[in-house]
């Protein structure tokens, strides 16, 4: 094992555990026949080149990475509706297996780029051979529309290094507006959609 593998092992452990736990919330809703505020969950350990680049940009010393880089362990929880995000944040805050230590509401305070999401930083205990250790993890909570926009923008940002040609910049702004309007429209017909989903789930279980 090299130094990076040793350093990242506890983050991998935290992500594996948290993915199971957060996906478990959706399963509980399903078991109770309730519509879930969580559509799906993803998680990743930050790639090593990305850790190095961010540390260099921010002037973070390598022995301070665990305290100062919050997103080495990162999770995303995708929701259908904007209102589901508040429900998910409350669920996270009420849990006893980790502590929410910071919140960033980029839905109320949309970023200049057009980025919207709700971020929480959690302090999660893992058990190791040397005892308990706390790992910071970033959980991004967003709608499917917010996720679509952010995923595309992230890919383009990588290609253009954040310095977009005006045409692309303009398109991204329009796409952010469209994603916002999609969320608004879906919220308007939320109850209708939820009833249709419940009907569909019931029909499917009758067929089984
Ligand atoms: N696609 C996309 N993702 C973003 C944007 N801003 C933030 N994010 C995501 O949110 C994470 C944390 O962002 P911030 O809360 O601004 O944290 P930060 O570490 O202070 O700032 P950065 O990582 O430089 O964005 C980033 O690592 C991205 O995954 C954005 O404009 N576009
Ligand atoms: N909290 C998260 N949960 C799940 N996936 C994430 C999370 N944060 C980033 N990712 C994804 O992980 C991959 C690598 O992301 P990376 O950490 O290099 O980018 P970033 O989030 O833009 O970070 P930076 O803050 O360094 O700009 C990308 O596909 C990104 O979308």
The string of pLDDT tens digits covering residues 151-198 is: 999 999 888 887 899 999 999 999 999 999 999 999 999 888 877 877
Helix (H) or strand (E) holding 108: none
> For position 118, what pLDDT does the model report?
98
> For position 194, what pLDDT does the model report?
76
Residues 71 and 138 sit within 8 Å (Cβ to Cβ): yes
Domains of the chain, start order = 3-207 (3.30.460.10)
Contact 171 CB / ligand 1 (< 6 Å): no
Rounded Cα–Cα distance for residues 205 and 208 (Å): 5
List the one residue out of 183, 182, 40, 180 whose CA is nearest residue 111. 180
Residues 74 and 137 sit within 8 Å (Cβ to Cβ): yes
> For position 202, what pLDDT does the model report?
73
Contact 154 CB / ligand 2 (< 6 Å): yes
Please indicate whether residue 138 is annotated as part of the active site: yes
Considering 68, 138, 188, 206, which one is annotated as catalytic?
138
Contact 153 CB / ligand 1 (< 6 Å): yes
In terms of Cβ atoms closer than 10 Å to its own Cβ (0-12, 13-18, 19+), residue 18 is buried
Angle between helices 82-93 and 166-188 (to 10 degrees): 80
The label of the residue with tokens 């926009």 reads 149
Q: Give me ligand 2 centre to Cα 151, in Å.
A: 10
Helix (H) or strand (E) holding 117: none
- Give 116's pLDDT tier (boundaries 50, 70, 90): very high
Specify which residues 77 forms β-bridges with: 41, 141
Contact 150 CB / ligand 1 (< 6 Å): yes
In terms of Cβ atoms closer than 10 Å to its own Cβ (0-12, 13-18, 19+), residue 9 is middle
C-alpha distance from residue 3 to each of 7, 50, 125, 128, 163 (Å): 6, 16, 22, 17, 34
Rounded Cα–Cα distance for residues 50 and 11 (Å): 15
Rounded Cα–Cα distance for residues 24 and 109 (Å): 30
Atom of ligand 2 nearest to the CA of 119: 1
Question: Per-residue pLDDT for 73 more than 70?
Answer: yes
Q: What are phi and psi of 180, to 5 degrees?
A: -65, -45
Q: Give me ligand 2 centre to Cα 203, in Å.
A: 38
Question: Per-residue pLDDT for 208 more than 70?
Answer: no
Specify which residues 104 forms β-bridges with: 119
Interface pTM, i.e. ipTM: 0.95
Q: Give me ligand 1 centre to Cα 133, in Å.
A: 26
> For position 9, what pLDDT does the model report?
97
Which residue out of 22, 40, 45, 46 has the highest number of ligand 2 atoms within 8 Å of its CB and is therefore the one to mutate? 46
């Amino acid at each position: 094992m090299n130094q990076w593998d040793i350093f990242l092992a506890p983050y991998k452990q935290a992500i594996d555990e948290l993915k199971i736990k957060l996906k478990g919330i959706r399963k509980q809703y399903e078991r109770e026949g309730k519509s879930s505020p969580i559509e799906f969950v993803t998680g990743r350990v930050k790639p090593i080149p990305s850790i190095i680049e961010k540390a260099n940009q921010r002037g973070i010393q390598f022995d301070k990475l665990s305290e100062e880089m919050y997103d080495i362990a990162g999770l995303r929880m995708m929701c259908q509706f904007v209102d589901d995000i508040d429900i998910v944040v409350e669920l996270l805050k009420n849990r006893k297996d980790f502590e929410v230590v910071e919140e960033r509401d980029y839905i109320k305070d949309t970023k200049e780029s057009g980025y919207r999401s709700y971020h929480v930083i959690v302090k999660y205990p893992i058990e190791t051979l040397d005892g308990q250790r706390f790992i910071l993890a970033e959980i991004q909570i967003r709608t499917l529309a917010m996720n679509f926009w952010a995923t595309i923008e992230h890919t383009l940002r990588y290609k253009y290094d954040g310095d977009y040609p005006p045409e692309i910049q303009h398109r991204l702004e329009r796409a952010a507006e469209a994603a916002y309007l999609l969320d608004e429209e879906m919220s308007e017909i939320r109850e209708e959609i939820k009833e249709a989903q419940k009907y569909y789930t019931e029909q499917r279980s009758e067929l089984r």
